[in-house]
Structure 1
């Protein structure tokens, strides 16, 4: 495949550029669902005149459907994208990034999408699209699936769709609610995923961060213990990863603990645990829900996170060593691979 691509790049460079351009258009429309021509042209940095010509061509090929309300991808276009994805990943240089990360962190699968979700809402949507696709592939009937909160997980939920295979499944929040907008809380995302797929859900009405006295009190409540046991019965978890200091602010961690985290070199947060660059746990918040030992027993752990700013944080969580699948973006992947080359994430 790569030899053929090399020959094409030398003999037919214009052909490859045209293919990349048209793939980008199709892919953008697929992720967006329905989009206007003007929005499409602006988002892909081209003129409406040029975009009109490309859309007309792709429509003639049966790859797009043009309606009064906007442009959407056809089923033929969707299938074509799936077929040529490996080729396009080679063209964009993403295949090598995926393989380097997969081998270094001993993962079952790594998927890298183009772009940087720090600066592109479209890239974050694509993380959600791919995360949803991978989740569907790994769910069997009557599963309990735990999910965390955050904007990336909300995008995963948005891209799920009805499935008869998922009707017996139950989505649950991995932990209590974070003090942020309701739509980004794990409870909301779990219920959205269930409604989108036709599955069921259970909610967990407990604050995410608790004082020690409140924490111990909750653990004496029978109904709370019952839902905790149910959540810990999950065999699949899909979760985001955050930068340690940013998450400490969002979780309203006290100043003294924040200073200790900073001093100890905390880079990442996941599930209420803070990790340094070696993947060592530095601190655990007193929260109820999934514990690290529960994660270690999972059949499938899927991490979805991107953005150049999160490169080091994602690497720190991967160093802990209990992820199975990573979905990330190009900017984060490049940051991680560059750090690997510098030896900044070696175990030595």
Structure 2
């Protein structure tokens, strides 16, 4: 297939651009679900006149359904999008990025989606969709899945299909650690419960702050219910987590100035699991949190990291150097920055 695509790029470059454009239109409609032409034109930075011609053609091919309330992708359109995905990956050069990153960091799988999540809502949605697909590809009937909080994991939860062939009624979703203190929709508790409901699984929540003083930690851990939930979290076969920029996470968590200065002075560039990592993937600071610990992560069978945006490239690299990832889901902007460093 790669050879054919290279020939097509050379002999029919215009056809390649048309394919990309029509794929993008169909894909965006599918992501939104039901959308009006004006709204779609704005999101794609396309004139309504050009978009109307394209959508009329896609409708005539049975790929779009146009109703009074907007347009949506037909079942035939959804099937075509699935079949086109690997071709688009090749056309955009994403397959090569995936393989280079996978090989260098010795990962099981790397998934790169188009765009830059720093500036594109569509890229954020696609990142969430790819993360949801990756999770569903590895989850089993009796799994325990631990998830962290954050914007990207919340998008993964939204993109999980509520109807899969066999609901995972014996699987459990749990927060990787406490999360009170963040916005409700981005807390690990909220994300774990949403994911569970989407796939018909069960869930347990950990209603304690993300960051604890030592005396509070000891006191809370005496509670039998908390010990049981923490025990379940630490048995997770699958861990799915976001990757944050170190100093951005310091600001979001409103850490004391002394702790912030210590983290900055240590050269931290990434945060995940309540741990701060330098560029070599070494832990330089650890927050006292209830839930997953580093040794639990090393024991998990499947660790899925997900992050996007050009600004996250250095953070992603640091966590990959830490060396516990199995599956990585990132966007094109982050992938190109990482490969640039490898070069």
TM-score under structure 2 length normalisation: 0.97
Task: Quote the offset at 1:193 in angstroms.
Answer: 0.9
Specify the SS of the correspondent of 2:285: strand
Task: Quote the offset at 1:27 in angstroms.
Answer: 1.2
Cα distance between partner residues in 2 of 1:178 and 1:10: 55
Deviation string, structure 1 residues 92-124 (Cα, Å, up to 9, x no partner): 111111111111111111111111111111111
Residue of structure 2 in register with 1:344 after alignment: none
Q: 1:230 aligns with which of 214, 219, 232?
A: 232
Q: Tell me if 1:123 matches 2:133.
A: no
Q: 1:303 to 1:333 in 2, by over 3 A?
A: same
Cα distance between partner residues in 1 of 2:135 and 2:340: 28
Task: Quote the offset at 1:228 in angstroms.
Answer: 0.3
Q: Tell me if 1:153 matches 2:153.
A: yes
Q: Tell me if 1:40 matches 2:40.
A: yes
Cα distance between partner residues in 2 of 1:9 and 1:248: 46
Structure 1, gaps ≥5 residues long: 342-348
Residue of structure 2 in register with 1:55 after alignment: 55
Residue of structure 2 in register with 1:245 after alignment: 247
Deviation string, structure 1 residues 156-208 (Cα, Å, up to 9, x no partner): 01011223242221111110015221011010111111122221111110100
Specify the SS of the correspondent of 1:326: strand
Structure 2, gaps ≥5 residues long: none
Residue of structure 2 in register with 1:345 after alignment: none
Residue of structure 1 in register with 2:163 after alignment: 162
| Matched-pair contact (CA < 8 Å) for 1:36–1:70 | yes
Q: Tell me if 1:196 matches 2:198.
A: yes
Deviation string, structure 1 residues 130-161 (Cα, Å, up to 9, x no partner): 11111111111021111111111111010112
Cα distance between partner residues in 2 of 1:40 and 1:305: 26
Residue of structure 2 in register with 1:281 after alignment: 283
Cα distance between partner residues in 1 of 2:272 and 2:108: 20
Residue of structure 2 in register with 1:259 after alignment: 261
Q: Tell me if 1:101 matches 2:101.
A: yes
Specify the SS of the correspondent of 1:31: helix
Task: Quote the offset at 1:2 in angstroms.
Answer: 2.5
Cα distance between partner residues in 1 of 2:92 and 2:6: 13
Q: 1:168 to 1:162 in 2, by over 3 A?
A: farther
| Matched-pair contact (CA < 8 Å) for 1:140–1:165 | no
151-160 vs 57-66, greater mean Cα deviation: 57-66
| Matched-pair contact (CA < 8 Å) for 1:179–1:250 | no
Specify the SS of the correspondent of 1:166: coil
Q: 2:183 aligns with which of 161, 181, 184?
A: 181
Cα distance between partner residues in 1 of 2:232 and 2:2: 48
Residue of structure 1 in register with 2:337 after alignment: 335
| Matched-pair contact (CA < 8 Å) for 1:178–1:251 | no
Residue of structure 1 in register with 2:8 after alignment: 8
Where do residues 312-331 of structure 1 align in structure 2 (5 Å cutoff)? 312-331=314-333
Cα distance between partner residues in 2 of 1:223 and 1:45: 52
211-220 vs 1-10, greater mean Cα deviation: 1-10
Cα distance between partner residues in 2 of 1:93 and 1:151: 27
Residue of structure 1 in register with 2:308 after alignment: 306
Cα distance between partner residues in 2 of 1:238 and 1:75: 30
303-312 vs 174-183, greater mean Cα deviation: 174-183
TM-score under structure 1 length normalisation: 0.95
Cα distance between partner residues in 1 of 2:131 and 2:173: 15
Residue of structure 2 in register with 1:91 after alignment: 91
Specify the SS of the correspondent of 2:210: coil
